[in-house]
Every structure is written in C-alpha cells, then in structure tokens.
Amino acid sequence: MVEPTSPIPPAASPPPASAPPSAPDERPVLSSDFETFLKMLTAQMRNQDPLNPVESADFAVQLATFSTVEQQVRTNDLLESLGARVGALGMSQLAGWVGMEARAVTPVEFDGTPLTLTLRADPLADSAQIVVRDTKGDIVQRLDAQAETGPVQWAGVGGNGAPLPSGRYDITLESYRAGDLLGAHPAELHGRIVEARNDGDQITLIFQGGEEVASGEILGLREPQG
C-alpha cells in the first residue's frame, strides 16, 4: 500500500547577517523593479505545492508580461527625451522672434501709453462700438468706432479727458446693424516681443507691455515699425 505523500515544507532560511551601512542605492528604478520581480518569482517557485506545481508556461507568461512592461517604460522614457529635445529646438527657433512685433488676441496691460489694436467688424455692420472691460468684467468705456476692420490707436482716455487707471483690460468691438447687435470680436494687440519662455508643455512669449501669449496664439509677425 502506497502511503500518500505530504508536501515537503520549505527549508528555513538562515537569518540574514547584519551588514554595515552603505550608500543609498542609485540604480535605475527599472533595474530595481526587475530584481524585485525575480525575487518574487524565486519565492513562488520555492514555496509552490509539489503536488500541484506551477506550469512552466505560466512562468513564461509572467516573464513575457514583465518584459512588455519593461519595454513600455523604456519607450515612455525615450518619448519624454524626444519631447524635451523638440521643445528645446522650438525654443531656439522662437528666440529669433524676440525684438519683433507680433499680433495676438489677449487682454492688454495699460500703463497710460496708447496701444495699437486691430479691430474686426462684422461685414454687415453699419456701426460699431469699442467696449473696454476691467478685470471684474465691468464696462469702463464705450467708444463709437468705424464699422471697419483694421488697426487703430487706443489712447485709453476716459470721457473726462483723464487716462484710465493702469491695469489689465479686455477690449472688444461690437458690431451693429440698424441698432441690432450682430456680434462682438476681441481686439488684437500689436506688441513687441521681449522674451521667449519655456513653460513646460508650451512656449510663452512676453510682450513689451507685460502681456503673456502662448506661441501658438500668435496671429501675425513683422519687423518692428519705427
């Protein structure tokens, strides 16, 4: 009569010897994770039920899965590196824009100096008004304007002849026909670029007045006038 066998308990491992303190481990995270995976795999093989061992195919699947994850991590690192290089290349190209005059839709920084704006009227409009709002959204000025599209000088002077307080303003052109509002278009600011700054995922251009505009929002570029 054959006696049923019982699982052989794993041999007890001797307690680890104390080791002198060492410098912090500076190995790559990926290498550390792979070593951890191998330790877990070894422990799994050592403690498996000898009557119901893990199939070798299962171990192969685990190794293949880890290999796939490892390759994905390396691919992500490569893409991040390439993105940084592309960003640096774009930064060097946009640095050539510094000193040039650009046009963009952005709130204006007013310090008492007249600003050049491009206003866009609705083609069907027979009248228009320049509407100036402060940072709270309150209307601080309304000016009658030509129902045309083109550059204008905005002096920022109130009805009492005094300049508006220094600060940031949103300027739009409202188009009317027979007194009915057709629509409102934001004014486009003309300003000289004084700085190109890398803000991580985008490059920001700084205008002379202090306005900050993403490089992708620049509508026009030209040599400075005068």
38 within some domain: no
Number of domains in the chain: 1
Instruction: Find, among 74, 68, 63, the residue nearest to 30 by Cα.
Output: 74
Residue 114 included in any domain: yes
Give me the tens of pLDDT residue by residue for the chain, a chain 226 residues long.
444 444 444 444 444 444 444 444 444 444 556 677 677 777 777 777 676 766 666 666 666 676 666 666 666 665 565 445 545 445 566 667 888 888 999 999 999 999 999 999 999 999 999 999 999 999 999 999 999 989 999 999 988 889 999 999 999 999 999 999 999 999 999 989 998 887 777 788 899 888 998 888 888 888 887 6
Half-sphere exposure of 178 (CA within 13 A, CB side): 0
Predicted pLDDT of residue 86: 45
- Return the pLDDT at 9: 45
Closest CA to 147 of 101, 107, 183: 183
For residue 177, what are the domain limits?
98-222
Is residue 22 one of the residues assigned to a domain?
A: no
CA dist 73 and 163 (Å) reads 58
| Residue for token pair 């993105």 | 83
Neighbours of 206 (CB within 10 A): 17
Q: What per-residue confidence (pLDDT) applies to 215?
A: 82
Specify the DSSP element, H or E, that contains 106. none
Q: Has residue 115 been placed in a domain?
A: yes
Judge contact between 152 and 189, C-beta under 8 A.
no
pLDDT of residue 15: 47
Distance CA 146, CA 144 (A): 7
Q: Domain containing 153 — which CATH number?
A: 2.60.40.4070
What pLDDT is recorded for position 11? 43
Amino acid at 121: A
Rg of the chain over Cα atoms, rounded to whole angstroms, equals: 34
pTM: 0.56
Residue at token pair 């002379």: 208
Residue 30 lies in a domain: no
**Per-residue pLDDT at 18:** 47
Domain presence at residue 211: yes
User: Is residue 5 one of the residues assigned to a domain?
Assistant: no
- Residue 57's pLDDT is what? 64
Q: What pLDDT does residue 13 have?
A: 46
